[in-house]
Amino acid sequence: MSLIISLKMPSGKGSKLLRYIEHRLRVSLTDNRTIVGTFLAFDKHLNLVLVDTEEFRTLRSKKGGGSANVIEERMEKRSLGLIILRGENVVSIAVEGPPPPSGGRVVAGGPGVVKGVGRGAPPSTTAVGGAPMGMGAPMGLGAGPVHGVGGMAPPPMGGPPPGMGMPPPGMGRGF
């Protein structure tokens, strides 16, 4: 295990982050945005893949002119679902909570995957195992894009059951 990690992430930063895969993370960005989502993947740039994502922005607007310097702060919240976050904009990452129960994550899958059927091993295995195939450039491009995107969501759903959802079991299952 540690061998794989050290080959992949020479900095050692990887292993610390790997520990939090499947956890809920709160990520603050350079533009005063905060993103809260379930952490699925990252790369060396600290690009992150999050599902069930919610975005929080505080919008400040001056209210009332002249001497009355009232600044109204409005917290705006939106649901984004599955996102890729560019590492360039990441200021800090905090662990918001443990991996949510898989039922809670169904929403991010979008309209097509309402049912949490993926708890069983087979669908999960195919989904996780199938996805990395797209790594080879031609394969990735060849894969039907719409299906590809649709296919992304199931792995988290079918991922490790709550409680045992640590990286090692999940990774072991993928291969």
Residue for token digits 């603050």?
28
Compute φ and ψ for 157, nearest 5 degrees: -65, -45
> Strand, coil or helix: what is 119?
helix
- Give the shortest CB-57-to-another protein separation in angstroms: 8
CB of residue 117 to another protein, shortest distance in Å: 20
Q: Can you tell me the distance from the alpha carbon of 150 to that of 104, in angstroms, rounded to the nearest whole number?
A: 18
Residue placing its CB nearer to another protein in the complex, 55 or 96:
55
Residue 46 or 162: the one with the smaller Cβ distance to another protein is 46
Q: Is the CB of 1 or the CB of 95 nearer to another protein?
A: 1
Residues of the shown chain interacting with another protein in the complex, contacts defined by CB under 8 A: 4, 8, 21, 29-31, 33, 35, 40-43, 47-49, 54-55, 59, 61, 76-86, 89, 110, 131-132, 134-135, 137, 140-141, 143-146, 148-152, 155, 171, 174-175
User: What type of residue sits at position 64?
Assistant: G
Q: How far is the CB of 79 from another protein (least distance, A)?
A: 6
Enter the DSSP assignment of 161: P
Q: For residues 28 and 163, give the distance between their C-alpha atoms in angstroms, rounded to a whole number.
A: 27
